[in-house]
Amino acid sequence: MTPTPMPSSQIARRIAEDARSENRMCWTCGSCDFECPVNVATGGRLRPQRLVRLASLGLFDELVAAPEIWYCLQCNGCRQVCPNLVRPSEVIAYARSEAMQQAVLPEAFYFEHAALQVQRQRLARQSAATLAGAIGTARFLDRTGPIQLADLPRTATSPCWTCGECSSACPAAGGRDVFDPRSIFRALALGLSQSLKQSPAIWLCLSCGRCTDVCSQGIDGRQIIAELQQDAIAEGFVAAGFPFHWRRQVRVVHRCWVNAVDHLLDTYRAPAHGTPTRSCSDMAACIKTDTFGETIPFPRPVNPPGELPAELRRQA
């Protein structure tokens, strides 16, 4: 018989102090679960509330062994909606660190997991470019062209020092050819906003605000990228319905990401942990053949031209 894990107040206090997450203030309201994009996309496979409760109860072994800690995107959505200012993302970061220090997983796992994150962003960028073309946006570019001196405004200035703080803190950064906040901010300062609006990179932002929090020059990177997205829609660089369809496509990427992480965990974990029931080694193939019906044909008009909704037809 497997022994039932017992809570430990002493371990709970140590976790609360080391993680600095205010996890003992959790009311179990579930706001973090409803906000977590991975949890929403996968139907409950990453519940930040559960991880916070494990930390609050001092169930250290269960916390660091939980596969969910490796699903997290560190988007800070759970932290932003918590009414008690609990920081589930800090609990997860703490659990990951302890999992490495306690040798729950070997060091090689960390580097393969980091490489898998870059692959996720690369595939997300490809998905954004493909999606934009599918809904009739011909001006969406896969990458910007070379910068010409004639393109640079004479008065281009910016408080940005190109120190790289934003890119170092960004959980979505995956290289300049995928998504790099510093490159975006500098390109904007150099007057290359038109090229940025045609790039799928601006749609990979998680809106976590980490770039804004760490910038020593006070640049609001999250707001800058949000405005670029709004301008891209307003100026016709992407179709008006692109954000809606993109949110659906992102959920497909999140599901395939979790399956790929499960497969990676399965190659390192001891047999006692069991075999994941929904693991997948090929994230790209998973995105193309997602079984949740999110990859619907484009464009999909609400009503065919000249046809009234069914409710209005009945009234007429």
Q: How far is CA 41 from the centre of its chain?
A: 11
Residues 278, 266: Cα–Cα separation, whole Å: 11
Residues 6+ apart with CB under 8 A from 293: none
**Every domain of the chain and the residues it spans:** 9-104, 141-234
What is the dotted CATH code of the domain comprising 9-104?
1.10.1060.10
How confident is the model at residue 311, as a pLDDT?
A: 39
- pLDDT above 90 (res 314): no
Q: For 197-251, how does the pLDDT look when each residue is reduced to its tens digit (9 = 90+)?
A: 888 889 999 888 888 889 888 888 889 999 999 998 998 888 888 888 888 888 9
> Which tops the pLDDT comparison, 300 or 276?
276
pLDDT tens-place string over residues 272-299: 455 555 667 778 888 777 654 444 333 3
Q: Is domain 141-234 classified as CATH 1.10.1060.10?
A: yes
Predicted pLDDT at 14: 86
Domains 9-104 and 141-234 share a fold: yes
**What is the pLDDT at residue 271?**
52
- pLDDT at residue 312 tops 80: no
Banded pLDDT at 95 (limits 50, 70, 90): very high
Confidence tier at 15 by pLDDT (50, 70, 90):
confident
Query: Tens digit of pLDDT for each residue in 254-268?
Result: 999 999 999 999 988
- Write down the pLDDT at residue 3: 62
Per-residue model confidence (pLDDT) at position 65: 92
Give residue-wise pLDDT tens across range 147-191.
Answer: 444 444 444 446 778 888 899 889 888 777 888 999 888 888 888
The predicted-structure confidence for 44-86, as pLDDT tens digits, reads as follows: 899 999 999 999 998 999 999 999 999 999 998 888 899 999 9
Report the mean per-residue pLDDT for the chain: 79
